[in-house]
Amino acid sequence: MSKGLQTFLALSIVPSLAGFVLAGHYFTRVFLRPTLTDDPSGDISAAAMASMTLVISAVLVLFIVLLFKADHRKSRLLEDHRSLETNLQRTSTQLRHLREEVDLLAGLREMTRVVNREQSFTKIIEELFPIIHGLTDADEIVLYLNPEESDFRLSPRAQFKDQKTLFGSDIDHSSLNASLAEKASNAHAQKSSASGDRLEFALPFLVDDQTLGVVSVTRRIDETIAEDKRWMRFYERSLRSILSHMALAVRNPALYDRAMIDALTQLYTKRNFTGALDKAFKDYVRDGNQTSLIMVDIDKFKSVNDECGHLAGDHILAGVASRILANVDGDDIRAYRYGGEEIAIICRNILLKEATELAETIRKAIESEQFELHDESKLNVTASLGVASFDPTMRTKDSIVEAADAVLYEAKRNGRNQTRAHKKSLLQAMNQRKTTKKRSAA
């Protein structure tokens, strides 16, 4: 009941009571006074006044009662309305939560489909990151993996930023919070960091009690979200569910890549190079299938490390590898990190002339590139390349490496930033062409 109505009822009760008192007074005068009277008309007037006062008082009391009932009914209606609004709000919240759960389950189902459909690590990540972005509304997602060597720190392998998935040297290191990822990896537990409107979660994922890597998710939040504990709990639970699926998604490709892919350059490892070259040599001996080898060495790389630091050296090495990968494709041409700043490229079913042309294309691509360092300065580097092909004088697979290395260091001695082909390989290639022409003429 409102305060105004309460005041009105209080004030209305006073005249009602006064009316009943006055009516009682008039009736007393009429019925209890002596029978004889000097003025009979006065009795009639008193009775009429008493009756009128009583009627008015009764009407006023009836009005107060009806008004009270109406206000009581209004209060009940308002209470029912508030209860209905509360129930509607609760139902709306439950529906929103259900939609979030349904979206999460749909996203997890799609992640499972990606894992079952794709085998390549790169393709899996390119498919998964947009799904995770849709589920978490993240501004940035970073996947760190532990390298094969246990004394190395976590290595960022993939990044989702500005609606793009980046790998290798294309990753924007300026926005990475590697220290939070390291903490999560070392503690084998989730870590979070909040700074202004930026919220970051770092969650390690374990496979067979071993930390395979860390996923970092960063998004912007407002004060309403930051104070919503239910949202925070749901968000963390969603991330853990996503993470469990992602661990299954990247486990086999990541473990495969640990043995096959160098974490810094994204090139195949030397271990894989040895096996591939052995197979190529056996194919050459058995079937005569030609294979060429390109050896690439960055010029004055030690000076880069000494003058700019090893971090800059790593960035240059990754950038050079990226330029090489941009110029090689297919299963017949693969690039490997041979050791240090030296890179090997195996070209199966490719003769020396074509391999030398490819090497020259790679040399020009490296020479024309300006590599941006972490301090935003830019640096140009060059590379020397040596090319060789299998020939009948080679008795082992290592012979082609020695031949390519020989002309590589010849390029170094003659001023660097050159491509040189092994002469014996060139002679063999010319003889092979002559033999092919004679067979065609016959």
The pLDDT value recorded for residue 19 is 56
At 91 the three-state DSSP class reads: helix
The pLDDT value recorded for residue 438 is 43
- Tell me, what amino acid is at 136? T
Region class of 264: left (phi > 0), else alpha (psi between -120 and 50), else beta: alpha
Distance from C-alpha of 239 to C-alpha of 242, rounded to nearest angstrom: 5
Among 210, 374, 194, 157, residue whose Cα is nearest residue 202 = 194
Among 209, 213, 231, 214, residue whose Cα is nearest residue 222 = 231
Question: For 148, which DSSP code?
Answer: S
- CATH assignment, 118-259: 3.30.450.40
Token pair for residue 293? Answer: 């080898």
Non-local CB neighbours of 114 within 8 Å, separated by 6+ positions: 124, 127, 128, 131, 249
Q: Is the pLDDT of residue 346 over 90?
A: yes
Q: What mean pLDDT is reported for the chain? A: 77
Task: Tell me phi and psi for residue 20, to 5 degrees.
Answer: -65, -40
pLDDT tens sequence across 398-411: 999 999 999 999 99
Assign 381 a pLDDT band (cuts: 50, 70, 90).
very high
pTM over 0.85: no
Let me know: does 356 contact 423? Beta carbons within 8 Å. Answer: no
The pLDDT value recorded for residue 343 is 94
pLDDT tens sequence across 231-270: 677 777 777 777 777 776 666 555 555 557 787 888 888 8
Question: For 173, which DSSP code?
Answer: G
- CATH assignment, 270-441: 3.30.70.270
Of residues 116 and 48, more confidence is placed in: 116
Cross-strand pairs, 145: 155, 213
How far lies 208's CA from each of 117, 190, 205, 211, 248, in Å?
24, 18, 10, 8, 11
Q: Is the pLDDT of residue 8 over 60?
A: no
How far lies 13's CA from each of 53, 58, 61, 200, in Å?
14, 11, 8, 67
